[in-house]
Amino acid sequence: MKKFLTLESYLAEHEFLREAAEFHFKLEKNLSDVQPLDFPPREKVLELVRAEKIPLLQQENFQPQILDATEKFLPRELAEKLLRQENSSVKKFCADLELNEVLTRKIFWAAVDKLIPAELKLWERDDRQENYCPICGRRPVIAHLKKLNEGRARYLLCGGCRTLWNWRRVGCPYCGNENLEQIHILELDNKMRLDVCDECNCYLKTYGAEDEENIYLRDWTTLHLDLLAEEKNFRKCGAVELE
């Protein structure tokens, strides 16, 4: 029987990630009492997003409940700017209040992650095919290649609410480039790689195995790959809070 890594054994092999792990574990613990909100049934949500062509949380009817739920963590005005991804306004707001912007963003999106019901966080074989999250509208931070019949399908993982949605197998999810001569792969090991677009110079961390999603579908567990990409002058386009 194949033995899969646990998160703890992975950290034992990557001690340099221990500090990041402790931060995220503490954040998860502090948000442990946050419960998913009541949303319409899954099929209704799919219908709404397809009809409006706007991510669910960018629709005015659904923003108030998110803002109400996050008000105990952050000022409502700031949460509203974060939800609407008004990044320059968020930066100024944090500076004016002397808030740590990175921590503020982490807290907000970790709370949003908890507030979205699990049944809404996986969009399989959808015909929507947009390069942004159908739930919150953020861009992907990781891709996951999953077995499908004789081949593999590509799913994109949202950098905000951690929703997974199916997207086309070839192409840059940031600029839309589909020219294979301008897209190359940096194979890093047998599980993770970087898909790099020469057109926009952005990269996407891609997990190509299965059963260890609890490790590899967390952005912070592969921070060393971000450092490697940075050394090669590639840009990380899917996680504004890391800038």
CB 203 within 8 A of CB 232: no
Kindly tell me if the per-residue pLDDT of 2 is higher than 80: no
- Could you report the per-residue pLDDT of 216-230, keeping only the tens digit for each? 999 999 999 999 999
For the residues 78-107, what does the mean pLDDT come to? 95
Domain map (residue ranges) of the chain:
7-242
pLDDT in tens, 45-79: 989 998 888 999 999 999 999 999 999 999 999 99
Q: What is the pLDDT of residue 242?
A: 45
Catalogue the long-range contacts made by 100-109 (C-beta closer than 8 Å, 24 or more residues apart): 101/241, 102/241, 102/242, 104/74, 104/78, 105/240, 105/241, 106/27, 106/241, 107/27, 107/73, 107/74, 108/70, 108/73, 108/74, 108/79, 108/82, 108/83, 109/82, 109/159, 109/160, 109/161, 109/241
**Mean per-residue pLDDT, 139-159:** 91
- CA of residue 34 relative to chain centroid, distance: 19
Q: Calculate what percentage of the chain has a pLDDT beyond 90.
A: 82
Q: 7-242: which CATH topology?
A: FdhE-like fold (3.90.1670)
Average pLDDT, the chain: 91
Res 114 pLDDT > 60: yes
Range 31-43 average pLDDT: 95
Judge whether residue 126 has pLDDT over 80.
Answer: no
Q: How far apart (Å, rounded) are the C-alpha atoms in residues 86 and 74? A: 16
- The pTM of the full predicted model, rounded to 2 decimals, is 0.93
Residue 204 confidence class, pLDDT cut points 50, 70, 90: very high
Predicted confidence band of residue 3 (pLDDT cuts 50, 70, 90): low
pLDDT at 127: 63
pLDDT > 90? residue 4: no
> Residue 149 has what pLDDT?
80
> Do 241 and 24 contact (CB within 8 A), yes or no?
no
Displacement of CA 19 from its chain's centroid (Å): 21
> For position 243, what pLDDT does the model report?
46
Dist. CA 88–CA 81, nearest whole Å = 9
Which tokens in the block code for residue 103?
A: 């921590």
